[in-house]
Amino acid sequence: MQLSSAGVVANEVRLELKLEVAGEELVVTGSVAAEWTGPCRRCLEPQAGETLIDIREIFEKRPVEGETYRLDENEVDLELMVREAVLLHLPVAPLCGEDCLGPDPDRFPATVAADPDPTELSSAPAGDPRWGALDALKFEDPSS
Ligand SMILES: [Zn+2]
């Protein structure tokens, strides 16, 4: 599967998913790992990395646009979900290093600003009401 977003290409996508039937719904949890390559946003040197994405999605016969995915009678198509998850989480502008000075530091000094922690972007915010139904389905409580 080849997915790309603004010069960043996911070359290999690995799925580790658990599918569970919950009533009329199919709950898919697990992770998607995407190995990507793309140019450093400052010096344009090729970069590579891996993005790990937490997956918690619901498939149902009548999907809610933008929230759940379509579940067919006898099969489930995971491709759209994987595609959206990867495109949403690929780094928009990779950086070879925090101290990258860019292609020509003398003429175009780069401002080294703090980047958002990429791990913060890869998980759904806790308490997202869309996952309310899913929270009730948790099988293990890490706090107990
Ligand atoms: Zn660079």
DSSP notation for 31-71 = EEEEEEEEE-TTT--EEEEEEEEEEEEEEESSPPTTT-EEB
C-alpha 113 – ligand 1 centre gap (Å): 14
Give tens-digit pLDDT for 65-85. Answer: 989 999 998 888 999 999 999
Please tell me whether residue 63 adopts helix, strand or coil conformation. Answer: coil
C-alpha 124 – ligand 1 centre gap (Å): 29
- Give pLDDT, residue 101: 86
The upper half-sphere exposure of residue 8, i.e. CA atoms within 13 Å in the direction of its Cβ, equals 22
C-alpha 109 – ligand 1 centre gap (Å): 12
C-alpha 98 – ligand 1 centre gap (Å): 8
Confidence of residue 39 (pLDDT cuts 50, 70, 90): very high
pLDDT at residue 118 greater than cutoff 70: no
**% of the chain at pLDDT higher than 90:** 53
pLDDT at residue 129 greater than cutoff 80: no
pLDDT at residue 134 greater than cutoff 90: no
C-alpha 49 – ligand 1 centre gap (Å): 14
Rg of the chain on CA atoms, in Å: 19
Give tens-digit pLDDT for 83-111. Answer: 999 999 998 889 999 899 887 777 766 66
C-alpha 129 – ligand 1 centre gap (Å): 39
C-alpha 50 – ligand 1 centre gap (Å): 17
Distance CA 2, CA 9 (A): 7
